[in-house]
Chains A and B, each alone.
Chain A
């Protein structure tokens, strides 16, 4: 038996099933997208080669840039608004002694709902006539503050960002909580003896100790933001006037609404490249801050 395991072929055999899956559902589609991105193809009839036309179109396409900008906003909102709030709430909850499980369950609840459910739920909340927000505003006499939240350019994308955060809060908080509870008690106690209490304790002890998990959360938020699609499709469909479009929805529409599968493939390649870039940048920053700290 041990002899078998020394044979590299045996290992190759073991990873074969996973490798086949990986190639079939990841590598092959990637290359077929790459091939399609150089064609003009309506998805059904024959494709014709058109060189770099699709990429040229994308870079001069105003709507694509709105979508791109929205993805960047999405990333920034996730990193600089959502994640700090998550850290804050996690630390607060971790300090609670009573009903800890109740809080944990409550914040986690949205994560078990599917995006379709959440999107529809929040559509009701944002509904211009019967929605919760507008009804509340009317009840307190702030009629002029009411908006068609998902139907106005100024509010539609923000409304989605808030809903998306709400959906993922619970999942990230539970991740962070487990990290916080794993911080050695002795460390916290000795810090307390040295005079670090409350905010100071969190800032100097807890947060550095849970840093790896925070980085994972940041990375997940960023890639999630780059790949956002379902929630936008359900809530606004990228409208009004393309103002809440993200690259994913724009790709989807080019493929399935406009029948431009070639162009859509080109966009998918661009998204892929951007996501890799953003992730690399993030990892560089993460590495550098680590070095500074050490």
Chain B
């Protein structure tokens, strides 16, 4: 009898649970007279301490959009950038349910997602809002003439250096590779770590900033597209030379010996804590360097273009407009209105200028007045103006598989596990496979 009681109790509990499950779905229904309740999910990546200023700007735009359309509500969801790009967003795209607004990268990511039909075509919206010609470059987000994403800001990659350490070692910013190696030697002789890098584990892309600039210097800008088209090969002598230079940097002890044991943020911290004299990084990192609370070198950071090697790619600088927001194509009419309002409020000259001033973000839109900047961003702006031109990062051009393989291969190269020649062969093999897949 006891059993019977227990069983019926269990059955009742199970039933109530099911009933409760059914009921809760319809809770959030119609709104008040002011406007229809519309909820828009928004995935951002401003989760680090150093991205607080960027987050503030996003919140401003969100608030403005919410005020403009009564009933509209954004649901913000912050996710670490690599996790979002490589895992979360990918899984959501595979399932076909990305957030309505999300952090998106141009290049291969945008291509895959738009092919799957999950990205909203922004071309008509841009025309409607009069934004079509306001962006500096939408190339990485444009496929077959249609725009599928909007860059939040641009970036410039180059070498940041600690001015105090340079003065202590009696060296000045180098312009050629030989000078660069001499500077490294002088720093090393003084017992300093010349070049910091946190490129262990998933952060193989960090060392690739150096590799990327090196092979473009050696082989010219067109090499990146050439890999995909088949007109250039990783095994070309110029590319192998680039790999040799990177290997040199490590074997001579100029690259931090713990580079492979540190993650990106740790390598960066080593630089701004004064533990290393130079760091190859992007302009997005300036915020961390100039943060007086955390950085020991705030106000004391310099910037120079990656050294010249005497190749066809000399004088150019790596930069691009590859990171911004994308929008889901699975939106209803009300949600679309909200998306439009967000674009209208977020992509404004005022907020772009504010981002430049408060978080040192390289503007993605044409803004008339860039005055008022202080610190190393000024050097970045002037160095990029002096450059012959800007080349995009290779990973916005080559296939994802090639990108990842270069990460592990360069880790192997600086770890002494492979030779420049073998690394080049491996890269070409993967490139051939990826090119054949199309």
Interface residues of A (CB under 8 A from B): 1-2, 5, 14, 17, 40, 42-45, 126-129, 148-153, 236-242, 253, 256-261
- Which listed residue, A5, A148, A257, A260, touches B261 by the CB 8 Å rule? A148
Q: How far is the CB of A193 from chain B (nearest CB, A)?
A: 43
Are B112 and A45 interface neighbours, CB within 8 A?
Answer: yes
- In whole angstroms, what is the CA distance A129 to B404 when docked? 28
Are B87 and A149 interface neighbours, CB within 8 A?
Answer: no
Q: In the complex where A128-B262, A148-B260 touch, is A42 in contact with B112 (Cβ < 8 A)? A: yes
- In whole angstroms, what is the CA distance A94 to B66 when docked? 62
- In whole angstroms, what is the CA distance A258 to B261 when docked? 23
Question: Chain A residues with Cβ under 8 A from B259's Cβ?
Answer: 151
Are A240 and B86 interface neighbours, CB within 8 A?
Answer: no
- Which listed residue, A129, A238, A256, touches B90 by the CB 8 Å rule? A256
Q: How far is the CB of B199 from chain A (nearest CB, A)?
A: 10
Q: How far is the CB of B346 from chain A (nearest CB, A)?
A: 26
Question: Chain A residues with Cβ under 8 A from B93's Cβ?
Answer: 43-44
Q: How far is the CB of B17 from chain A (nearest CB, A)?
A: 8
Are B112 and A240 interface neighbours, CB within 8 A?
Answer: no
Q: Nearest CB to that of B401 among chain A residues?
A: A258
Q: How far is the CB of B255 from chain A (nearest CB, A)?
A: 13
**Could you list some 9 contacts between A and B, CB below 8 A?**
A43-B91, A128-B257, A148-B258, A151-B262, A239-B200, A240-B260, A241-B415, A241-B417, A258-B401
Are A150 and B202 interface neighbours, CB within 8 A?
Answer: no
Given contacts A43-B93, A43-B94, 4 further A-B contacts (CB under 8 A): A44-B90, A148-B258, A241-B415, A256-B87
- In whole angstroms, what is the CA distance A14 to B112 when docked? 45
Q: How far is the CB of B385 from chain A (nearest CB, A)?
A: 36
Q: How far is the CB of B158 from chain A (nearest CB, A)?
A: 25
Within 8 A of A (CB), among B4-50: 4, 7-8, 10-11, 14, 18
Interface residues of B (CB under 8 A from A): 3-4, 7-8, 10-11, 14, 18, 86-87, 90-91, 93-94, 112-113, 115-116, 118, 200-202, 204, 257-262, 266, 270, 275, 400-401, 404, 408, 411-412, 415, 417, 437
Question: Chain A residues with Cβ under 8 A from B14's Cβ?
Answer: 17
Are A261 and B415 interface neighbours, CB within 8 A?
Answer: no
7 smallest A-B Cβ distances: which pairs? A151-B261, A237-B201, A148-B261, A128-B258, A151-B260, A43-B94, A44-B116
Are A5 and B4 interface neighbours, CB within 8 A?
Answer: yes
- In whole angstroms, what is the CA distance A221 to B160 when docked? 48
- Which listed residue, A1, A17, A148, A259, touches B400 by the CB 8 Å rule? A259
| Main secondary structure on B side of the interface with A | helix
Question: Chain A residues with Cβ under 8 A from B18's Cβ?
Answer: 17
- In whole angstroms, what is the CA distance A240 to B204 when docked? 10
Q: In the complex where A44-B115, A151-B200, A241-B411 touch, is A14 in contact with B7 (Cβ < 8 A)? A: yes
Are A258 and B404 interface neighbours, CB within 8 A?
Answer: yes
Question: Chain A residues with Cβ under 8 A from B275's Cβ?
Answer: 129
- Which listed residue, A17, A149, A257, touches B404 by the CB 8 Å rule? A257
Are A237 and B10 interface neighbours, CB within 8 A?
Answer: no
- Which listed residue, B11, B258, B401, touches A259 by the CB 8 Å rule? B401
- In whole angstroms, what is the CA distance A253 to B112 when docked? 18
Question: Chain A residues with Cβ under 8 A from B3's Cβ?
Answer: 5
- In whole angstroms, what is the CA distance A256 to B262 when docked? 22
- Which listed residue, B86, B270, B412, touches A241 by the CB 8 Å rule? B412
Are B200 and A241 interface neighbours, CB within 8 A?
Answer: no
Q: How far is the CB of A145 from chain B (nearest CB, A)?
A: 15
Q: How far is the CB of B329 from chain A (nearest CB, A)?
A: 13
Q: Nearest CB to that of A17 among chain B residues?
A: B14
Q: In the complex where A148-B257, A239-B411 touch, is A45 in contact with B400 (Cβ < 8 A)? A: no
Are B200 and A44 interface neighbours, CB within 8 A?
Answer: no
- In whole angstroms, what is the CA distance A42 to B399 when docked? 12
Question: Chain A residues with Cβ under 8 A from B262's Cβ?
Answer: 128, 151
